[in-house]
Amino acid sequence: MSNANRKRARRVRNLITISVLTAIVISVSTFAWFIGMRVVNVSSFDVEIASTESLLLSLDGQTWDNTVSISQSTLDDVSYSGHTNSWGGRGLIPMSSIGEMDSSVSRMILYEKASLDPTPGGYRLLASRVNNFENDDPEQEGYVVFDLFVKNISGNQYIEELNILDEESIYLTNDSEVTVAADGVANTGIENSVRVAFTQIGRVIATSEDQAKITGITCNPDGEGNPTVVDGVTGICREAQIWEPNDRDHVSGAINWYKTSCRKRVDVDVTLKSSYSDTADTCKPVLDGVAYPTYAVSKDIKSSDNVDVYDGAAYNEYTANEEILIPYDSFTDTEKLLTGTARPPFMKLAPNSITKVRIYIYIEGQDIDNYDFASIGKRISVKFGFTKERFTEDDFNYEGPIANEGEGPTGEDRTKPIITLIGNDPYEINLGDTYEDPGATATDATYTVDPENPEEPPVQGTKDLTDRLEVTGTVNTEVAGTYTVVYTVTDDAGNVATKTRTVVVKEVQEP
């Protein structure tokens, strides 16, 4: 393999710690935060999580492995006794959260709509907290939630006191994605309002074998709600890290819904026509390919609060309610694709520890992409992964041997395909011009064992996978800025490779 091909192969590997989750959500009826109160039914929601040796995973705090699986049908079988995991009950309904934790019950605070009535410039929103704050009550219907126990065995020292400066950075892999599944309906935008929240409850030393102690980890709040260390259990309960996939993607249906219903707000009372501009298109524009904030619900909303769903500087320009609807700083796909020193960590884990992580999967009702017809998409696929690797070989021009190349010790193919971009990267285009993707090629190493000489090393070859390439990402040539196009390919063994191209849309300079 040439040095160039070695370099490309290393670019798409996660060498240290990888965790992958795949989930399927099926909806059979229309829902919306905006109009309907109907729900999205859920069936066959399968989760598979995998890692390498330095990060072991468990669903019951006792059985540890590099890979764990969970589904609606196996929920009770693989979870620990007395768990409060939930698969959404009768179905998913839009929620909203800024990731705050209730340390008294070690759960994330969520809000659902209590009422929603059309206004002259949008919709009046009333919201109430989801009743998951009683210790004796389970998590409520409308979202998926489960516990994952993560054993980080790097290092020998365990620091019991809680200090984020003592913890290791974990990064979200660039092949993490939320898409419409193969048998779903594309171009409805349902995938653009999905959120995945990671809430760290607490931790113990990695050598602990007491299952009851591990599964019983809580935030251990003191009298003022601050986490403490009790009997070797360190409470955490810091604000959840919420992943917002597809932050730059907005389908035409969502954009047109917004244009039709939003009007600039100029007064307090949302019920009065005089409180809104009577001119069409007075709200700030929403354009495909541009990221916009989500003004998430932070508290109960009463009628006296006079809240419109479009309140916020980015939409109807009304900012008086920003203590109620907060422009939440989620972790976006845009951040996920940054490289080198610009790559931000996704979360932190303490070395030599077992951390209880509670994962929430829900629909963010305040996302601008969550409109009345989005759920026609019906079926969504969610996949994400983690790595401890901040730099890849491309970041520092590594030319040495490749780690983990070829077949695994039991004969499995663990070599990821190689994607080669055609044309420039970054690719520059003038404002207003048409973007035509230059494309890419993909090849995969193959390993064939001679049946007459099975003891001999397999013969290496190559296979062209260019026709399997999937291209995602939007380039809006009407708005100057930097865009990312993502190329993804999967080989016959299920190894996934990704490659990104940066597209810069430039304003034309006057001579």
Q: Give the CATH number, domain containing residue 502.
A: 2.60.40.10
Residues 120 and 225 in one domain: yes
User: What does the pLDDT read at residue 473?
Assistant: 82
Low-confidence residues of the chain: pLDDT under 50: 1-20, 22, 25-52, 409-410
**Residue 403 belongs to some domain of the structure:** no
User: What does the pLDDT read at residue 451?
Assistant: 79
How many structural domains compose the chain? 2
**Residue 292 belongs to some domain of the structure:** no
Residues 354 and 493 in one domain: no
Residues 365 and 426 in one domain: no
User: Which residues, at least 6 apart from 260, have a Cβ–Cβ distance to it below 8 Å?
Assistant: none
User: In angstroms, rounded to a whole number, what is the distance separating the alpha carbons of residues 418 and 246?
Assistant: 24
Residues 191 and 124 in one domain: yes
User: In angstroms, rounded to a whole number, what is the distance separating the alpha carbons of residues 386 and 337?
Assistant: 13
At which of 387, 405, 429 does a domain end? Answer: 387
Residues 214 and 344 in one domain: yes
**Residue 271 belongs to some domain of the structure:** no
Residues 356 and 440 in one domain: no
User: Which residues, at least 6 apart from 14, have a Cβ–Cβ distance to it below 8 Å?
Assistant: 173, 385, 387, 389
**Residue 260 belongs to some domain of the structure:** no
Residues 152 and 224 in one domain: yes
Residues 211 and 345 in one domain: yes
Residues 383 and 424 in one domain: no
Q: Where are the beta strands (DSSP E) in 345-384?
A: 347-349, 353-363, 379-384
**Residue 202 belongs to some domain of the structure:** yes
User: Would you put residue 346 in left (φ > 0), alpha (ψ -120 to 50) or beta?
Assistant: alpha
CA angle 350, 394, 460 (to 5 degrees): 100
Residues 373 and 441 in one domain: no
Q: Are 308 and 125 in contact (CB under 8 A)?
A: yes
Domain that holds residue 436: 418-506
- Which letter, b or e, does each residue of 148-183 get, where b requires 16 or more Cβ atoms within 10 Å of its Cβ? bbbbbbbeeebbeebeeeebbebbbbbbbbbbbbee
Residues 103 and 207 in one domain: yes
**Residue 44 belongs to some domain of the structure:** yes
Backbone dihedral angles phi then psi of residue 355, each to the nearest 5 degrees: -115, 130
User: What does the pLDDT read at residue 201?
Assistant: 97
At which of 387, 405, 432 does a domain end? Answer: 387
**Residue 263 belongs to some domain of the structure:** no
Residues 382 and 465 in one domain: no
**Residue 307 belongs to some domain of the structure:** no
DSSP 8-state assignment for residue 307: -
At which of 347, 368, 387 does a domain end? Answer: 387
Q: Considering only CA atoms, which of 246, 394, 308 is closest in space to residue 119? A: 308
Q: Burial level of 504, CB count in 10 A (0-12/13-18/19+)?
A: middle
User: What does the pLDDT read at residue 352?
Assistant: 93
